[in-house]
């Protein structure tokens, strides 16, 4: 039981981390877009970085993706072995 919880958490963590990098640029305004560059920073730096907003949307999207994965794997029995092999097996 503890292994299943750890494995589920590991899968969710990987999905969350990948989703973070997909969600991160949404709604981001750079200093160059606002034409207000603070001295000592680059123009591509964000004007207002909303970390809690990014974390919230990352958690929401990754929960939906994890839920779809859970349903596909536990109710429909899909796994990595269900994916057809594209590369031929030359060992035979």
Average predicted confidence (pLDDT) for the chain: 87
Residue 91 lies inside a defined structural domain of this protein? no
pLDDT at 30: 86
Residue 89 lies inside a defined structural domain of this protein? no
- For 9, the domain range is 2-82
Residue 30 lies inside a defined structural domain of this protein? yes
Per the DSSP assignment, residues forming a β-bridge with 30 are: 46
Residue 87 lies inside a defined structural domain of this protein? no
pLDDT at 39: 84
Number of domains in the chain: 1
DSSP string for 73-92: IIIS---GGGSPPSS--TT-
pLDDT at 17: 96
Per the DSSP assignment, residues forming a β-bridge with 46 are: 30
């Amino acid at each position: 039981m503890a292994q299943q919880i750890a494995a589920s958490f590991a899968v969710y963590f990987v999905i969350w981390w990948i989703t973070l990098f997909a969600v991160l640029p949404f709604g981001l305004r750079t200093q160059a877009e606002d034409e207000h560059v603070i001295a000592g920073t680059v123009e591509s730096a964000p004007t207002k970085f909303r970390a809690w907003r990014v974390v919230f949307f990352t958690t929401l999207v990754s929960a939906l993706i994890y839920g779809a994965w859970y349903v596909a794997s536990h109710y429909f029995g899909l796994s990595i072995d269900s994916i057809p092999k594209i590369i031929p097996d030359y060992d035979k």
